[in-house]
């Protein structure tokens, strides 16, 4: 059976596992909706959306048409849509998903752990995302511990430097964040802060202990900054 545009777009939305219709704190200064894309290649022990990140199939996938109808209905009150996760850049359907949101007239902010700078480069270069929030987990040497062994220090630093180079060409679109997890010392926090030039917005996020992962039960939704 040949693929139609509709089946391709439905596939692009098939990893969307959560929607927060209104958030006041996921894009500074804007009223947004937040979409959650399931899956993440990292295994941070402090992940507060671990079920979404590691077992997305346990969460019900949202129906594309229902989400589009909801966004369309709220469009006049929304300043944009945040695409979060999990790690959205790990999802092959991300670009199509973002294109469809932008086509509604809603700007998109992307939340990322910086693991796929090539994806961020494409979305920024194609003018598909109006803002990118980049998480810095800690000092480069701590990445193996902070990501559950998923990332070595050299890769973490190289990915960040590539994203920072993109940010310096598009300074109005980038902000950086770091969550103050218990494993980070005050010296670690100072080191992280020095990674990001003072010219960029930088936000410290308070640590929220991870929620227990349900075994054999469905969780109904993921969590936005506004819900933690
Ligand atoms: S990068 Fe983010 S979503 Fe992925 S495991 Fe770490 S905290 Fe969770």
* Confidence (pLDDT) at 215: 54
The minimum-distance atom of ligand 1 relative to the CA of 113 is 1
Strand residue runs (E) in 113-219: 131-135, 174-180, 202-206
Which residues, listed in sequence order, are joined to residue 23 by a DSSP beta bridge? 32
Name the closest-CA residue to atom 3, ligand 1.
86
For residue 189, what are the domain limits? 5-223
Q: How far is the CA of 1 from the centre of ligand 1 (A)?
A: 37
The answer to whether residue 141 sits within a structural domain is yes
Q: How far is the CA of 117 from the centre of ligand 1 (A)?
A: 16
DSSP of 18-79, one letter per residue?
EEEEEESSSSTT--EEEEEE---S---TT-TTHHHHH-GGGSPPPPHHHHHHHHHHHGGG-S
Q: How far is the CA of 4 from the centre of ligand 1 (A)?
A: 33
- Global pTM? 0.92
Q: Is the pLDDT of residue 20 over 90?
A: yes
* Confidence (pLDDT) at 214: 61
* Confidence (pLDDT) at 5: 86
Q: What is the mean pLDDT of the chain?
A: 92
Q: Between 58 and 216, where is the model more confident?
A: 58
Cβ(53)–Cβ(90) under 8 Å?
A: no
Residues with CB under 6 A from ligand 1: 40, 42-44, 47, 49, 53, 85-87, 113
Residues whose CB falls within 8 Å of the CB of residue 80, separated by 6 or more in sequence, listed in order: 27, 30, 32, 106, 107, 108, 109, 130, 131
**Structurally, how many domains does the chain consist of?**
1
Q: Do you know the residue count of the chain?
A: 228
The answer to whether residue 32 sits within a structural domain is yes
CA distance 166 to 159: 11
Name the closest-CA residue to atom 8, ligand 1.
47
Q: Is the pLDDT of residue 41 over 50?
A: yes
What is the per-residue pLDDT across 108-155, written as a single tens digit (0 to 9) for each? 999 999 999 999 999 999 999 999 999 999 999 999 999 999 999 999
Show the DSSP H helices in 135-214 as ranges: 143-146, 153-169, 186-195
The answer to whether residue 228 sits within a structural domain is no
The answer to whether residue 67 sits within a structural domain is yes
The minimum-distance atom of ligand 1 relative to the CA of 43 is 5
Q: How far is the CA of 48 from the centre of ligand 1 (A)?
A: 8
The answer to whether residue 211 sits within a structural domain is yes
CATH of the domain at 70: 3.20.20.70
The answer to whether residue 57 sits within a structural domain is yes
User: What is the percentage of the chain residues whose pLDDT exceeds 70?
Assistant: 91
CA distance 36 to 21: 11
The answer to whether residue 50 sits within a structural domain is yes
The answer to whether residue 37 sits within a structural domain is yes
């Amino acid at each position: 059976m040949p693929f139609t545009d509709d089946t391709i777009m439905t596939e692009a939305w098939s990893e969307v596992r959560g929607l927060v219709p209104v958030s006041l704190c996921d894009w500074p200064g804007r009223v947004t909706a937040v979409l959650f894309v399931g899956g993440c290649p990292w295994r941070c022990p402090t992940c507060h959306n671990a079920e979404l990140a590691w077992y997305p199939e346990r969460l019900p996938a949202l129906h594309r048409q229902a989400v589009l109808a909801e966004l369309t209905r709220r469009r006049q009150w929304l300043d944009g849509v945040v695409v979060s996760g999990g790690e959205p850049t790990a999802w092959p359907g991300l670009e199509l998903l973002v294109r469809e949101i932008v086509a509604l007239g809603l700007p998109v902010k992307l939340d990322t752990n910086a693991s796929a700078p090539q994806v961020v480069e494409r979305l920024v270069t194609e003018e598909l995302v109006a803002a990118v929030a980049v998480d810095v987990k800690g000092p480069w040497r701590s990445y193996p511990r902070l990501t559950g062994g998923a990332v070595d220090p050299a890769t973490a630093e190289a990915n960040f430097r590539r994203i920072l180079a993109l940010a310096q060409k598009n300074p109005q679109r980038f902000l950086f964040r770091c969550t103050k997890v218990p494993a980070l010392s005050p010296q670690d926090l100072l080191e992280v802060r020095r990674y990001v030039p003072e010219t960029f917005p930088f936000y410290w996020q308070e640590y929220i202990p991870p929620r227990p992962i349900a075994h054999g039960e469905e969780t109904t939704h993921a969590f936005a900054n506004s819900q933690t």
